[in-house]
Amino acid sequence: MYKYAVILVLLVSRVVCAGNKYPLPRAIDRELAKAGQLELLSLRPGSQSTKSAETFHGWEILGRSPVADESVKAGVLAAIRRGIAESDGSMHLCFEPRHGLRFTSGKLVVDLVICFECRQIQSYLNGREKPTASTSTSSEELLDQLLVDAKVQLADKAAR
């Protein structure tokens, strides 16, 4: 009986320690590390397919800000990775993104469209959609503060 209890504990601990079931695709994560430029975008949720405004993967752009400081870029990337690592893999179905990130390096472009409300990150490599990742909300405050510091309008969160 002891033997079966030990096996059960090992199996359960492996599942619990396995982490996020929905990480960023490896190709996306690899390219993020190489990115030379970063642009942070504020998106209007509920505005997909707006034809009269500039959009980011179908979401209206409220404003944008380049992130030139290398330490800030590294901090944003670390915060995004930390949020993914912290996630238990659960996601809601709303997908009303308020944040976007565009990482570029030469001809490669990685876009992340982030909904912290439902804890999803849609990822794109050179315009092609890749699997969705799950995230925690831990990096939302940093992204909001960077947008505020750059005097970029934030989407209203009162409707949450």
Residue 5 lies in a domain: no
119: tokens are: 């804890």
Pairwise CA distance, residues 15 & 65, whole Å: 40
Residue 160 lies in a domain: no
DSSP annotation of 108 = E
pLDDT tens readout for residues 90-139: 899 889 999 999 999 988 999 999 999 999 999 999 999 999 999 999 99
38: tokens are: 């970063």
Put residue 74 in one of left, alpha, beta given phi > 0 → left and psi -120 to 50 → alpha.
alpha
Pairwise CA distance, residues 117 & 119, whole Å: 6
Give the CA distances from residue 53 to residues 13, 62, 64, 107, 157, in Å, rounded to whole numbers and listed in that order. 49, 9, 14, 25, 20
Residue 15 lies in a domain: no
pTM of the predicted model, to two decimals? 0.83
Q: How many domains does the chain have?
A: 1
pLDDT tens readout for residues 12-40: 333 333 456 888 888 888 888 888 899 99
